[in-house]
Amino acid sequence: MSRLPKIPWYEITPEKVYLNRRQLMVGAGAMLSVAGLAACGMEAPAAPVAPAAAEGVAAPPTATPDTRDPVASATADELGDPLNSFEQITNYNNFYEFSTDKEDVAELAKNFPVSPWTVTVGGLVDKPGTYDMDDIRKMFDIEERIYRLRCVEAWSMVIPWQGFSLGKLLAAAGPKSEAKYVRFQTLHDPALMPGQTSAWYSWPYTEGLRLDEAMNELAILSTGLYGKDLLPQSGAPLRLVVPWKYGFKSIKSIVSIELVAEQPTSLWMDAAPNEYGFYANVNPAVDHPRWSQASERRIGESGRRETLPFNGYAEQVAALYDGMDLSKNF
Ligand code: MTE
């Protein structure tokens, strides 16, 4: 936690983030080669999909478009790496419910209705409940977290999220002693999310965390980025962000959070168990069966950079895995 920015984002003069078109083009072009060989997608011969692939801030109304300019408290993360632009973050997305093509998601998801929206918190808890998104926004202090997002496909971005600690929501629900894991689920509605008609995946998208991982201060539920409400392509109205794990753990458009006794099986574990494990901690020492995880391409940069253990958050999370063989628990 010591390396996280300490100044609340709203106390800092808003700074417009301008699109550097040249950088965006370089980044997008460079990504083609990565997308051509890697994917969250499993390598099934007949698969019809392209290979992979502030504190106390008043919540804005969600039913009307958020026309505010993108703002962030800083221009770089705690390592000094510049933020990706709002345009980069919202135009290069993995959201298989809409498309397996990252550059099509924003357009295909633009009319996805994200209000009204309810989230059920249940399972092994003392206080189960179904909450309206507007109430969730009021229940928790929304703060900014600038995090790196490192996709299993070996690309990455730096994103100024708004959100709140997942641990606070779980603590409010009161986990029973038998609760050991948290299971998250995305909305299942093939009429609204046409990708869910694909028989290749076990919809709805499901993810999981061990309860102590979920309680770690770095794990957040995000409601926005760059000071604006999340757009559909980014997982509106509520998504998980677990910055030390590969991006696929950060499930979008959540409708259910359930405390369970047994380790949940995620959509990706079900699709390709030899490629996508439950833990999915960013680990440059353990390659994906089809590509190296030692380096990554930061969107907007032309070269590659070293991938950091736990995506640079080892100080905060490595102790969660003391005594575990992370090559087996990948
Ligand atoms: N959540 C759902 N419901 N569906 C998805 O396809 N893709 C995951 C994750 N969350 C995905 C999802 C993957 S593979 C990544 S890398 C991140 O979302 C990408 O988040 P971004 O599009 O905001 O960068």
How many CA atoms lie within 13 Å of 160's alpha carbon, on the beta-carbon side? 30
CA 247–ligand 1 middle distance (angstroms):
6
Q: Whose CA is nearest to atom 21 of ligand 1?
A: 93
Please choose from 34, 88, 95, 230 the residue to mutate so as to test ligand 1's pocket, defined by most ligand atoms within 8 A of CB.
Answer: 95
Q: Which two tokens stand for residue 314?
A: 């080892």
Q: Which two tokens stand for residue 185?
A: 């689920």
CA 102–ligand 1 middle distance (angstroms):
10
pTM over 0.75: yes
| pLDDT in 10s for each residue of the chain, 330 residues | 333 333 333 333 233 332 332 232 233 333 322 233 234 543 333 332 222 333 444 444 445 788 999 999 999 999 999 999 999 999 999 999 999 999 999 999 999 999 999 999 999 999 999 999 999 999 999 999 999 999 999 999 999 999 999 999 999 999 999 999 999 999 999 999 999 999 999 999 999 999 999 999 999 999 999 999 999 999 999 999 999 999 999 999 999 999 999 999 999 999 999 999 999 999 999 999 999 999 999 999 999 999 999 999 999 999 999 999 999 999
Rg, the chain, Cα only: 18
Query: Residue 60 has what DSSP assignment?
Result: P
Q: Which two tokens stand for residue 119?
A: 């989230």
Q: What are phi and psi of 234, to 5 degrees?
A: -95, 0
How many CA atoms lie within 13 Å of 95's alpha carbon, on the beta-carbon side? 30
